[in-house]
Amino acid sequence: MGNADIIAAIATPPGRGGVGVVRVSGKDLQQIIQEILGLFPKNRHASLSNFKDENGLIIDQGIAVFYPSPHSYTGEDVLELQGHGGPAVMDMLLSRCLSLGARLAQPGEFTLRAFLNNKLDLAQAESVADIIDASTGEAVRCAMRSLQGEFSAAIHTLTQTIIDLRMLIEATLDFPEEETSFLRHSDIYSRLENIKSELGGIITAARQGSLLREGIQVVLVGQPNVGKSSLMNKLAREEVAIVTATPGTTRDAIRETIQIDGVPIHLIDTAGLRETDDEIEKIGIARAWAAIEKGGLVLLLTDCRYGLTSEDQGILDKLPVGVPLIHIVNKIDLLKKLPCAPDKKEKIYLSAKTGAGIEQLRQSLLEIVGWKSGSSTSEGLFMARRRHLKALSDTNKHLEDACKITKQEIRAELLAEELRLAQLALSSITGEFSADDLLGEIFSRFCIGK
């Protein structure tokens, strides 16, 4: 993973804009700067400059900013050329940089260099992409906390606690005749329980933050004309799906992302599930079942006037085993008398037409996926990815195994090994122990120019 060469990329989105940015990073940018600007700008100051081509003709006029190493985003010399945001202008500026010896940056390579030059740890680097991809304000704030190092600080503190205990355990390996009394005196089990308690708090905060990042995929299913599209429109607060009295209006899956308490909810309205000879409708129904297989949560809608019909039960029987399910009894506005409160938490009576019961559904969507009541802000949460949760889970398992060892005849070498494995799993979050292929996978998902 060498970074001796100079890289360049357009750092703003494709298309037209008021301002476009070409970013260059590497060692010894003097030649590129001199050739393009004709002068060397003052460090870390915005300078109005003419950007010149190889013949000295002006490509564009804009702002040049030079950030000398190591006080830059990547830790290397960085030049930013801020010009007019037209595609042709940006392409000409980028081509000029490439003709002067730079190469086109790979996705995420600027942030990768920041990581390799110790400007960011791995968790902070990943939060850069999370900020860009965030779909709600709460997700942005949560990702910013990670970028500022709060997640990493919690991981480093816990890692150091494990290291201190490792040192204590491994010291007994040098003095085996004093092992038993030494371990008992230090109250190893109590220390392990304290570490597990601290880890539990981090896991809880990480899981909550993961919901802000990943969101929840919710699939609306049911027979034709039970109100799936009406419910989707009510949740989305706009007409995203066509609603008619004709069964089978929805032929294909309709997707819409909303947010509840800052948590992204990815709604999928599917074709009504029934037996049909219509070839187009059959395709829609097949796609509906495919969405159900991939969905994280299923809302089964039924009509309150008919109860749970045999067709509804047939849909229930076909649902994947273990899929989270909320039974929605819709169209209560058509009843003269409202039904009694349901005896099951997973059953909600509502009217997608009037909005009655919608707020209860909103809260149930959050509760069933584990969003804690009152967690309406990102305060105290960490923007965790799946690999972070896996690392935290592995750490917890090794600590549990260590606790089991302490309940038996204490063997210092086994105890030390479990603590070593716990430390490695935890440290992988911040990148202290990460394989090159893992880094390649992570940064390949970034934007080019970031």
DSSP annotation of 285 reads H
Give how far the C-alpha of residue 268 lies from the chain's centroid of Cα atoms, to the nearest Å: 20
Average pLDDT estimate for 409-413: 73
Confidence of residue 248 (pLDDT cuts 50, 70, 90): very low
Distance CA 375, CA 261 (A): 8
- pLDDT above 80 for 183: no
Structure confidence at residue 371 (pLDDT) = 78
Q: How many CA atoms lie within 13 A of 83 on its CB side?
A: 24
Average pLDDT, whole number, for the chain? Answer: 83
Confidence of residue 243 (pLDDT cuts 50, 70, 90): very low
Confidence of residue 211 (pLDDT cuts 50, 70, 90): confident
For the ranges 89-93, 121-125, 134-138, 426-430, the lowest mean pLDDT is seen at 134-138
Residue the block writes with tokens 């150091």:
160
Residue the block writes with tokens 């393009």:
36
> Minimal CA–CA distance to 402: which of 185, 191, 157?
191
Which of the residue ranges 135-144, 251-260, 384-393, 411-420 has the most confident prediction, judged by mean pLDDT?
384-393
Residue the block writes with tokens 């690999």:
387
Confidence of residue 375 (pLDDT cuts 50, 70, 90): very low
Which residue segments constitute the domains of the chain, with CATH numbers given?
Answer: 7-121 (3.30.1360.120), 134-151+158-430 (3.40.50.300)
Confidence of residue 188 (pLDDT cuts 50, 70, 90): confident
Average pLDDT estimate for 207-231: 85
- pLDDT above 80 for 106: yes
Give yes or no for a contact between 101 and 11, defined as CB atoms under 8 angstroms apart. no
Structure confidence at residue 279 (pLDDT) = 66
Structure-token pair, residue 135 = 């779909």
CA angle 116, 121, 123 (to 5 degrees): 130
For the ranges 26-35, 392-401, 427-436, the lowest mean pLDDT is seen at 427-436
- From residue 91, how far is each of 59, 66, 95, 104 by CA, in Å? 10, 20, 6, 12
- pLDDT above 60 for 16: yes
- pLDDT above 60 for 249: no
- pLDDT above 50 for 185: no
DSSP annotation of 345 reads T
- pLDDT above 90 for 195: yes
Q: DSSP states of 97-112 as a string? A: HHHTT-EEPPTTHHHH
Confidence of residue 270 (pLDDT cuts 50, 70, 90): confident
- pLDDT above 70 for 399: yes
> Minimal CA–CA distance to 284: which of 373, 276, 434?
276
Average pLDDT estimate for 237-253: 52
- pLDDT above 60 for 340: no
> Minimal CA–CA distance to 140: which of 153, 149, 130?
130
User: pLDDT tens digits for 111-164?
Assistant: 999 999 999 999 998 888 888 888 788 888 888 888 888 999 999 999 999 988
Structure confidence at residue 278 (pLDDT) = 62
- pLDDT above 70 for 413: yes
Give yes or no for a contact between 10 and 3, defined as CB atoms under 8 angstroms apart. no
Q: What H or E segment, with its residue span, contains residue 222?
A: strand 216-222
Structure confidence at residue 111 (pLDDT) = 92
- pLDDT above 90 for 241: no
Q: Which pTM value belongs to this model?
A: 0.71
Average pLDDT estimate for 316-325: 82
Confidence of residue 247 (pLDDT cuts 50, 70, 90): very low
Which comes out higher in pLDDT, residue 130 or 80? 80
Structure confidence at residue 414 (pLDDT) = 87
Structure confidence at residue 322 (pLDDT) = 78
